[in-house]
Structure formats: structure tokens, C-alpha cells
Amino acid sequence: MPFGQSAGLIISNAFLETLMLYHMVLFIVFIMIYKSIEFEKHFTVEKAPSWSHVAYFTLLTQTTVMAGEIAPKTKFGRSLLATHVFLSWFVVILSVTPVGDALDAMSENTSSALDY
């Protein structure tokens, strides 16, 4: 049974692998961006954060959890964070659309079967 097949949904492994690749690329790109700027100037931290702090912040931003301990304090910081959140949502929308299409196809098949 292909991964993602349950309740009549079939999501290809290639699609899921591509989706994970998009998330990983976005994650790595934003870690590099956040480390390359003066993070402490644009976000509420006392000193330049370590790689693990930046990875933590990037993960929370990308999953839209946002613990709130680091917040943007400049216009550039807010713009960068908004861009990161927007791109993260874009990747989520890419993942939800095929699932919605599969659910629509299932409901059409179910309703046409009930018409008989």
C-alpha cells in the first residue's frame, strides 16, 4: 500500500518527497539568511544567537508555532519574518491542494454511487 493511502486517498511518494524537499530547502535558506544578518539588531535577543538558536527560531517560524521569545523589532526584521511565514504557508498550500482534490474526487465517486 503506497504511503499516504488511507480512506481512499492516494498521495504519491514522489509528491511527499518533493514537499519535504521544499520544506528542508526553505528551512536551510532561512537559517542561512538569519545567520548572515545582524540578528540581534533586527530581533529581540540580547546577543548574536548560536546556530541552534537560529535553527530553533526558523523551525518555530516555519511551522507557525512562534513561541514569542524572539520577535522582530525593526521594519527589516518584520519584513523578513513575514516573507518567511508567507513562503512557509505557500508550501503548506502546495501540500493541501492535492489532498483536497483527492477528497473531492472521493466525494464525487461516493455521490455518484449513491445515485443508483
Q: What is the pLDDT of residues 87-101, one digit of tens each?
A: 988 887 776 666 666
Q: How confident is the model at residue 102 (pLDDT cuts 50, 70, 90)?
A: low
Left if phi > 0, otherwise alpha if psi is -120 to 50, otherwise beta: which for 39? Answer: alpha
pLDDT at 7: 46
- Flag whether 5 is in a domain: no
- Flag whether 2 is in a domain: no
pTM of the full structure: 0.70
- Flag whether 3 is in a domain: no
- Flag whether 8 is in a domain: no
pLDDT in tens, 44-77: 998 889 999 999 999 988 887 777 788 899 999 9
Residue 114 has pLDDT above 60, yes or no: no
CATH number at residue 75: 1.10.287.70
> Mean of the pLDDT values across residues 92-114?
63
Residue bearing the bigger pLDDT, 97 or 2: 97
- Flag whether 22 is in a domain: yes
pLDDT at 22: 86
| CA separation for the pair 23, 45 (Å, rounded) | 26
Residue bearing the bigger pLDDT, 7 or 103: 103
Residue 60's domain spans which residues?
13-114
- Flag whether 1 is in a domain: no
- Flag whether 99 is in a domain: yes
Tally of domains in the chain: 1
